[in-house]
Amino acid sequence: MSPESRLSAEGRPQAADRLDDDQYPAYTMGRAAELIGATPGFLRALGEAELISPTRSEGGHRRYSRQQLRRAARARELVDQGTPIEAACRIVRLEDDLEAALRMNEELRRGAEEPGGGGERHGE
């Protein structure tokens, strides 16, 4: 079933699809803090440091996605080890950048190894 066919009458994804979406802002600040073993103040500090950018509900409350909670949990690990919060945020960003670069490198490598994938050099 295509993603377009799984939209509600209002054009939004169906509820079951949002449960699998790592980007969906499903968690309130209190629940998010509880899940990662931190305080709401810690989550606000990560927002101020621009490591995570929670969305806001219609009532103005912060909402966090699973992806944001993974980043926050990693930052918390680093802070718990004595790393200043600003440095922890920078480390998490660099780890994310490295992961994305490695993933892109692997995709390019697979593409070059496929027949007709451009892995052959001209003139050889």
Q: What is the pLDDT of residues 42-57, one digit of tens each?
A: 999 999 999 999 999 8
> Per the structure block, which two tokens stand in for 82?
């004595």
Q: What is the pLDDT of residues 27-41, one digit of tens each?
A: 999 999 999 999 999
The amino acid that residue 89 corresponds to is: C
pLDDT band at 4; cut points 50, 70, 90: very low
Exposure string for 64-79, b = 16+ CB within 10 A, e = fewer: bbbebbebbebbbebb
